[in-house]
Amino acid sequence: MLIKNLNHTISFSLFSLFPELVCVVSDRTLGDLNVGRLPIENAQTLLNLYQIPLSQFVGMEQKHGVIVRLVDEANIGKLVENTDGLITVNHQLFLGVKTADCVPLFFYDSIKKIVAVAHAGWQGTLGNITGNLIEKLEELGSDPQNVYVAIGPHIGGCCYEVTAERAKLFLEKFRDPKIAFQNEGKWFLDIGQANKTQLLESGVKLEHIDAPLTCTSCQNDLFISFRKDTKETFGEMLGIIGITN
Ligand SMILES: [Zn+2]
């Protein structure tokens, strides 16, 4: 379930189980936090709310790919190149993911105390970045049964109209009318649902997935949407996850 916080962020009720965890996403009132196009210092707008210094932040230069990297103190205060997923076992680090319609995912292994983020647009979803990330966690000794995942605000199936060609790719891969479907002759995708399916296929428990119903386009007063916003109002929201002492 989505929790709207008073400090212009949203969080997930699933992670209320873990007081040691900070996992929030900026809402549109915090402005454009597209670190990469903007200097990385802009992440401070969100980090300051939780007294997190930039020297504990690691972001990604997101490429709509499926590459997941393990990061440590060598990466602090930087954007990791050519990456759409980050994992760390370092409890000093806060990992960042920026989105505006794509799906941000936040992972927590409550036993191994490992955190991770992923960015999944249609390409990353089709390439199964979520499954890649769970595999990497397993290589680090995680049991997927102990992994909790929040699926952040993204464009909903209600508004994500795509070409028949793109829909066909998803139909072939998922064979699920909840993920690729037609409405009044137009094709739509639910990429949040697709990532949820991939999490379940990777062994994550249904009750460990928080997938609140969101739509960055329908809820454009709260979120930023690549499709709904104009060039003047567009930006990216930043999500972070990390462990506090
Ligand atoms: Zn919508």
Report how far residue 158's alpha carbon sits from residue 183's, in angstroms, rounded to the nearest whole number: 9
Q: How far is the CA of 220 from the centre of ligand 1 (A)?
A: 9
Instruction: Provide the residue ranges of all domains of the chain, joining segments of one domain with +.
Output: 2-156+205-243
Which segments within 136-244 are labelled E, that is strand?
Answer: 147-151, 161-162, 180-183, 186-189, 209-210, 237-243
Cα torsion 126, 2, 245, 148 to 10°: value is -40
Looking at residue 85, what is its pLDDT?
98
Report how far residue 218's alpha carbon sits from residue 133's, in angstroms, rounded to the nearest whole number: 29
Q: How far is the CA of 228 from the centre of ligand 1 (A)?
A: 10
**Which residue would you say has higher pLDDT here, 78 or 213?**
213
Q: How far is the CA of 213 from the centre of ligand 1 (A)?
A: 10
For the stretch 129-181, pLDDT in tens is 999 999 999 999 999 999 999 999 999 999 999 999 999 999 999 999 999 99
Q: How far is the CA of 157 from the centre of ligand 1 (A)?
A: 7
What's this model's pTM, rounded to 2 decimal places? 0.97
For the stretch 69-85, pLDDT in tens is 999 999 998 899 999 99
**Percent of the chain with pLDDT strictly greater than 70:** 100
Quickly tell me which residue has 């769970």 as its tokens.
134
* Joined tokens for residue 107: 């992972």
Q: How far is the CA of 57 from the centre of ligand 1 (A)?
A: 31
Nearest CA to 20 among 41, 58, 48, 50?
A: 50
Report how far residue 223's alpha carbon sits from residue 234's, in angstroms, rounded to the nearest whole number: 10
**Percent of the chain with pLDDT strictly greater than 90:** 96
Instruction: Answer whether 170's CB lies under 8 Å from 194's CB.
Output: yes
Looking at residue 245, what is its pLDDT?
73
Q: How far is the CA of 189 from the centre of ligand 1 (A)?
A: 11
Please identify, in words, the CATH class of the domain defined by 2-156+205-243.
alpha beta
The residue count of the chain comes to: 245
Instruction: Answer whether 204's CB lies under 8 Å from 116's CB.
Output: no
Comparing 115-124, 136-145, 231-240, the range with the smallest average pLDDT is 231-240
